[in-house]
Chain A
Amino acid sequence: MIEIEELFDFINEIVMVVDSSYKIVYLNNKCKELLGEHSSKFIGKKCYLALFNKIDVCENCQIANIDKKQFAVNVIHETINYKGLRKLYRSSFEHIGVNFFAEILSDITEEKKIIDQLTNQSKALKANNIILNHNKKQVEEQYYFVKKVLNSLNEGVMVVNEDFSVNVVNEKMKEFAGFKGDIRSDFKCFHFYGNEKQCLDCPYNNNSVRASRKMNNRSFTVFFNRLGGLIVESVVESTRVIALINEIKQRQFELNEKQHQMILLNDDLRLVNEKLKKAQDMISGELIQVSKIQNSLLPSSLPDNDNFDFGALYVPAEEVGGDYYDYIKIGPNHYGFLVADVSGHGIPAAVIMAITRALIHSYAHNVFSSANVLGTVNEVLNSNIHTNDFVTMFYLIMDMATGKCNFASAGHHPLLFFDKSEMMVKKINAKGRFLGIFDKVDFEENAITIDTGDIIFLYTDGLTDTMNNERKLYGFDRLITKLILYHNDCCKSIIKYIMEDVNEFAGGVPFEDDITIFMIKCRSC
């Protein structure tokens, strides 16, 4: 028995025998590693107190279970050895006789350490794995983000490796080149541009920063940037820009063409202007001729009579006027005096004026009724003038011996008669329509007698209708005042004073109409 006990001292486990009251009956010397003293010192002591420093039975003790014939499981004891170090033991229990139980404790402290170490390492690995996974996810997210950004660009982007393989390419670039789906691994950058080998102006050759390329019949500008050993190519479509430049060039060409045409046109215009100037000079020359002819149709002198003073004035508004005055000796003692106004100006008016003069000179002789003369003239004029032009005329026939006058008016302004005896000017008229417009006009004929100092003042509306810069008319009142004021003067002077007043009134405003005056003053009748 003793020998067997000594044998137990050589095994690597603590062998302990306790009775049913947990008192140690046997303990091998292996317990020294735990308790630091010889086993004999612990015989008879409670197992839980001696080995595990507890005051009561261990909670996982299996002895009670064995005693009740139940199955005993291995348990782990955790305790502190005599050196204060943490120790772990795996205990197995055996029922070795009535009221005796064996507990074999195997030191698993180191084993547990290794297990813990392995567990910790496993945990660390697991944690690392999680971090790595997280990082991977982040990298992937960044990758997708960058890819998304690249694909949302409106310009093509391609990153090219030194062997011309394509590192990254965005969708726009593929769209430009007309590719769909993934790019094959043997695909090279120059394939995008339709080349079978390195492009001639490849930035790997000559460090160029920009180049022009064609893809799908469209023009592109490529910008090269170096990124380490890689080349980043940004591709922008330049078709529109080129089209715009071409359009601008075309417009510029058209403008130049137009400018050239304008120069030619200007030359033509200059020639036309020269011709027009020549024509104008010719017309002006002809107008001067017409004006001369017209002036020659006016009386070159006035009647020479001891009893009467005469005065006349003709101021055309333009080169050729439409006014006319005249006197005709129609009988031994009778004279016909007239002023007329052809509507309008210029050559048509001058022609009508010439016709009217010819008619008057044809029909006035020996006709002593002014109304009859106008009636005849109107009939002939009306059948010969087919325009809207007309003639107004005041025609007065005077018996130079008696001073008796009869007169008729074809829509002309009234005659002004200065009556010396009453020292007043009377507006005298006779009813009658214009010449050359209406068929069969009845002209009223009225009569007056001129006495010594009296004045007969015939005129055209250009005189009374002279306008100043305020668009006011010279009018009758001012004219009549002047007539009364200067009635003692000779006709020539009276006309001079009146015209001075008219010019003063007009204040430099050019006359719009011709002005004609014909005056008869009785010196002594």
Chain B
Amino acid sequence: MLEIVDNGKTKIIYTGGTFNFEVGLELKEKIGEIMHHTTLFVLSFKDISFINSSGIRELLDLHKILASNGIKLHLCDLSEDINELFSFTGLDNVFKIYSDETSALE
């Protein structure tokens, strides 16, 4: 289940559990509907316990779509395991990753 907090040009998205293909697809569709007039999306990993390779693929695709529209995507509150995964896959250089929501919004 996706929860979106709309702060006008900035939107914060919360989801939980496993970030897999289905979650990634739903996220892409939802963001596709509301991305106009938005300059920054913050995706909170606070309740995401695990991300699989299909989830990463969708996340990369989302990153590509937003970047081509000049919209920023910030990730925050990544768990230790997911942080490690982003590190050894080099994704920490692809995505802007923040320790918490406040710093992700700045």
Interface on A for B, CB 8 Å cutoff?
341, 343-344, 388-390, 392, 409, 411-414, 429, 431-434, 437-438, 441, 461, 465, 471, 473, 512-513
Given contacts A392-B89, A473-B50, 17 further A-B contacts (CB under 8 A): A344-B53, A388-B60, A388-B61, A388-B64, A411-B90, A411-B91, A414-B88, A431-B90, A432-B90, A433-B91, A433-B93, A433-B94, A434-B89, A434-B90, A437-B60, A461-B52, A512-B52
Bound Cα distance from A437 to B60, whole angstroms:
9
30 contacts between A and B (CB under 8 A): A341-B53, A343-B53, A343-B56, A344-B57, A388-B58, A388-B61, A388-B64, A390-B57, A390-B60, A411-B88, A411-B91, A412-B89, A413-B88, A431-B88, A431-B90, A432-B90, A433-B89, A433-B91, A433-B93, A433-B94, A434-B89, A434-B90, A461-B53, A465-B50, A471-B18, A471-B49, A473-B50, A512-B52, A513-B52, A513-B53
Q: How far is the CA of A465 from the CA of B58 in the complex (A)?
A: 18
Check B54 against A344 for contact (C-beta < 8 Å).
Answer: yes
Query: Which residues of B have CB within 8 Å of A433?
Result: 89-91, 93-94
B17 within 8 A of A: yes
Alpha-carbon distance A414/B50, docked complex (angstroms):
17
Q: How many residues of B contact A (CB 8 A)?
A: 20
Known: A433-B91, A471-B17. A465 touches B57 (CB 8 A): no
Contact with A along B63-90 (1 / 0, CB 8 A): 0100000000000000000000001111
Report the Cα distance A411→B64, complex, angstroms: 18
- State A485–B56 Cα separation when bound (angstroms): 33
The interface of chain B, by Cβ under 8 A from chain A, is: 17-18, 49-50, 52-54, 56-58, 60-61, 64, 87-91, 93-94
Q: Contacts of B54 on A, CB cut-off 8 Å?
A: 343-344
Please, how many angstroms separate the alpha-carbon atoms of A473 and B51 in the complex?
11
> For B18, B57, B58, which residue has the most chain A Cβ atoms within 10 angstroms?
B57
Chain A min CB distance to B78 (Å): 16
Nearest Cβ on chain B to A395's Cβ, whole angstroms: 14
- Identify A389's interface contact among B18, B49, B57, B93, CB under 8 A: B57
Residues of B within 8 A of A512 (CB): 52
> Quick one: which of A388, A413, A438, A441 contacts B57, CB cutoff 8 A?
A388
Rounded to whole angstroms, the CA-CA distance of A409 and B89 in the bound complex is 8
When distances are taken between beta carbons in the complex, the residues of chain B under 8 Å from A441 are: 90
Complex Cα distance A429/B86, Å?
13
Chain B residues with Cβ under 8 A from A431's Cβ? 87-88, 90
* Chain B residues, CB < 8 A from A390: 57, 60
A-B CB proximity, top 5 nearest: A411-B89, A433-B90, A343-B57, A343-B53, A388-B61
Contacts of A413 in B (CB 8 A): 88
B24 to chain A, nearest CB (A): 10
Chain B proximity of A426: nearest CB distance (Å): 14
B18 to chain A, nearest CB (A): 7
In contact, B57 and A409 (Cβ under 8 angstroms): no
User: How far, in whole Å, are A389 and B91 apart by their CA atoms in the complex?
Assistant: 15
Point out the residues of chain A lying under 8 angstroms from B64, CB to CB. 388
Neighbouring B residues of A344 by C-beta, 8 Å:
53-54, 57
Q: Which of B49, B52, B53, B88 has the most CB of A within 10 A?
A: B53
- Closest residue of A by beta carbon distance from B88: A429
CA distance in complex: A431, B94 (Å): 13
CB neighbours of B90 from chain A (8 A): 411, 431-434, 441
Alpha-carbon separation in the docked complex, A35 to B24 (Å): 145
Cα-based distance from A437 to B52 in the complex (angstroms): 17
B contact residues around A409 at 8 Å (CB) = 88
A471 to B56, CA, bound (A): 19
Question: B51 → chain A, closest Cβ, in Å?
Answer: 10
Residues of chain B within 8 A (CB-CB) of A392 are: 53, 89
Q: Which residues of A contact B60 (CB under 8 A)?
A: 388, 390, 437
Q: Which residues of B contact A438 (CB under 8 A)?
A: 94
Question: Which A residue sits closest to B92, measured CB to CB?
Answer: A431
Residues of A within 8 A of B53 (CB): 341, 343-344, 392, 461, 513
